[in-house]
């Protein structure tokens, strides 16, 4: 079983610092499927923690931030409506790129 995302063991495995975010985003599953809303709770260069109500998440998906920036993600864990995802590929841009003015 995976550690809870807020446990000390989990925090020690992170390769980049997380920052509080609380921003709206969309989860896109692929062509022909409408994106679904979510709230990104915190963000790092390596991934996100978010909340999405009543939503089945596939193993991989695209997160689209309010600025239009998007990242391919892999589901890392899920507890209820809360989930964590790692970016697939390159390390993400600065968190400033995802913030809406």
For 51-83, the pLDDT digits (tens) are 999 888 999 999 999 999 999 999 999 999 999
Structural domain harbouring 25: 8-98
Residue 22 confidence (pLDDT) above 60: yes
Distance between CA 101 and CA 87 in Å, rounded?
A: 23
| CA-wise closest residue to 38 among 7, 5, 91, 75 | 75
| CATH code, domain carrying 50 | 2.40.10.220
**Residue 15 pLDDT more than 70?**
no
Cβ neighbour number for residue 72 with a 10 Å cutoff = 15
Residue 88 belongs to some domain of the structure: yes
Q: Is residue 2 part of a domain?
A: no
Q: Is residue 22 part of a domain?
A: yes
Find out whether 78 and 63 touch, Cβ atoms under 8 Å. Answer: no
Residue 3 included in any domain: no
For the chain, what is the domain count?
Answer: 1
Residue 66 half-sphere exposure, CB side, CA atoms within 13 Å?
13
Rounded CA-CA distance 75/50 in Å is 11
Mean pLDDT of the chain: 81
């Amino acid at each position: 079983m995976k550690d809870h995302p807020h446990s000390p063991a989990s925090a020690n495995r992170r390769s980049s610092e997380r920052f509080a975010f609380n921003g709206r985003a969309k989860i896109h599953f692929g062509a022909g499927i409408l994106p679904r809303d979510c709230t990104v709770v915190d963000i790092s260069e390596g991934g996100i923690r978010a909340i999405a109500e009543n939503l089945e998440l596939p193993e991989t998906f695209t997160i689209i931030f309010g600025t239009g920036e998007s990242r391919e993600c892999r589901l890392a864990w899920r507890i209820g409506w809360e989930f964590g995802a790692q970016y697939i590929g390159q390390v993400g841009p600065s968190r400033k790129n995802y913030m809406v003015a």
